Amino acid sequence: MTVKHLSVDYNKVNEQGTFSPGDTLSGRVTVVTSGGTKVQCFLVKAKGKAKVTWHKQEGQATRTHEDKRKYFHFEHIFIQDKNKGDGSEIIRSGRNVYPFSFVIPNTDMPSSYEGKWGKITYSLQAQLTQSIWLVHKTKTEFPFLTKSEFPFASKSEMIIIGLKEQQYATRISFYGSAKVVMNVTSEKLGVKQGEAMVVSVEVLNDSARTVTPTFYLCEKQTFAAQSERIVHTNETLFGTGDPIAAETSQSTTKVLSIRPQLHPSFFNCCMMRLEYRLKVRLDGPRDAEIKLPLVILLGSTKPLQQKPKRSIWFKNLTI
């Protein structure tokens, strides 16, 4: 086997290392050989796709729900055997570098994302075919960010106006042996990654015990395939407010910070979406909770973490 190394790399277009619709994706495929190597086909592919898969037990059988969508698929062929299989095309011995360039379509596409039962990926894959039995492949993913300012609102839905300024409040009352009323007000509906928001809680505690508000960030992932839906939820503790003593009323304010690594809300994928809620729970004579809608917006991004590039080194094994 004369192919010793195969790798694919790309050039960054900004400090964050991300790509968006309309950007030029360029790079190089590197091949190292120990001698002249006959090749049937040698190419690099650029792909953008979304895929959803989950399994559901139905009686004794397991049913698989799966769907996928392709956003783009380009190929750049470096070498192709004109005689269709005789391997007459040759890569010379040593290190060989092949440049490539693609223009990402300037259309609305969702950002890179990986959830419980689905993911949205953008990748480069190099493939070197020597014969039907000998095919070398290597792949690397590149981070992609949508250009949509509001990827949570499709064109058919109402666009939220004044997202950054809008306040939201609600009230809940419940009765047991006594009355407890909780009023929650969120400073704004839309919060950027890494930004802080102020949440105010007013509690009228007519019960005989102390109650304490607790704040949670609720994440909801929805996946769709074959006319079926599945939901995955997750709760993260945001913080705890001040205790409210029995037979008192008190207002408390909490500053909650959105983690910079938190993925923004999105709705611009037909197979999956990501939503958030702010939940305030009050432990007391009868536990109660209030959920407020929360939209996480893309903030001033830092360089995104990406999956490590996968290069292939081939070694001769002596048995």
Q: Which residue has the higher pLDDT, 295 or 224?
A: 224
Q: What is the largest CA-CA distance in the chain?
A: 90
How many degrees, rounded to 5, is the angle at CA 160 between CA 202 and CA 217?
45
Task: Give the per-residue pLDDT at 151.
Answer: 66
pLDDT in tens, 51-73: 999 998 888 888 899 999 999 99
* Domain 3-145+303-313, CATH among 2.60.40.420, 2.60.40.640, 3.40.718.10, 2.40.128.20: 2.60.40.640
Per-residue pLDDT averaged across 118-125, rounded?
97
Q: What is the mean pLDDT of the chain?
A: 83
Task: Give the per-residue pLDDT at 205.
Answer: 83
Contacts of 115 (CB under 8 A, 6+ apart): 221, 223, 232, 272, 274
E strand residue ranges, the chain: 3-10, 24-33, 37-39, 41-58, 61-80, 89-91, 94-103, 113-114, 118-131, 134-141, 168-175, 179-186, 190-192, 196-205, 212-225, 228-240, 248-257, 272-283, 288-297, 312-313
Task: Give the per-residue pLDDT at 308.
Answer: 47
Distance CA 154, CA 268 (A): 6
Q: What is the CATH number of domain 168-297?
A: 2.60.40.640
Domain(s) of CATH 2.60.40.640: residues in the chain: 3-145+303-313, 168-297
pLDDT in tens, 96-105: 999 999 999 9
Task: Give the per-residue pLDDT at 303.
Answer: 45
